Amino acid sequence: MSYVIEVHPTHLIARGTVPVAAVAAITSLAPAGAVPDVDLQERTDASLYLVVPDAAAMLRHTAPSRKLPPAADGLSSEARQWLATAEHCAAALAMLVAATGHRELAQGADPALRIASPKDALEFALCLNLHAAVPEVRANLERVGQLSVAWRHIVIDWAHLVADLATDPRALEAKLRAYQRAHRRPHAR
């Protein structure tokens, strides 16, 4: 296993195969206050990317955008921008696919990922970011509700979940877990 560490005044980048046992030692080399950033990690093809939050936005402007899949050709500029730059999860991608009808964006994905719904506050926040950024997602939220029982509950309760994210993330996560359980029950309708 070999890896390379780049230490900069505002960030640390580790490339290569980083053994789990070395993560703590590598993290100790990062600038004070640095936190993991998955978006910059993916953009730079790094194994680990730690950045001081105040510097993250500037570094995103200099880091290359993610490559868009060929299927993104028919998407709106907002959807293309979100795919290229935003941090996302399987639930947000499932949401985009359902709202836009571009099933080829999830081509080759595990069928369970095609209907993935948010499992926690972070994943719901990523879905909310998509909802805010892409007009066709806002306009077609009812299509997303057709993905699964869990999504149906999420779409119906959308406004309350958004409020819970801001005021009581634990309540939000309890609701999301309940929706996941409802999805797993046979014949849940």
63 compared with 120, residue with greater pLDDT: 120
Give the DSSP per-residue string, 10-43: SEEEEEE---HHHHHHHHHTSPTT-EE-HHHHHH
pLDDT, residue 188, reads 46
Gyration radius of the chain's alpha carbons: 18
Given a contact cutoff of 8 angstroms between Cβ atoms, the answer to whether 84 and 66 are in contact is yes
Tokens at 145, concatenated: 């509700």
**Residue 34 φ then ψ, to 5°:** -70, 140
Residue 25 pLDDT class (50, 70, 90 cuts) = confident
Classify residue 64 by its DSSP letter.
P
Q: Does residue 107 surpass a pLDDT of 50? A: yes
* Pairwise CA distance, residues 13 & 49, whole Å: 5
Least reliable range by pLDDT among 17-21, 103-107, 123-127, 154-158: 103-107
Non-local (6+) Cβ contacts of 66 within 8 A are 42, 43, 83, 84, 85
Given a contact cutoff of 8 angstroms between Cβ atoms, the answer to whether 14 and 3 are in contact is yes
| Average pLDDT of the residues of the chain | 85
Tens-digit pLDDT profile for residues 154-173? 999 999 999 999 999 999 99
Tokens at 17, concatenated: 């195969």
Question: Where would I find the beta strands (DSSP E) of the chain?
Answer: 3-7, 11-16, 35-36, 48-51
Model pTM score: 0.61
Given a contact cutoff of 8 angstroms between Cβ atoms, the answer to whether 124 and 159 are in contact is no
Instruction: Give the dihedral sign, CA 89/90/91/92.
Output: positive
- Length of the chain in terms of residues written: 189
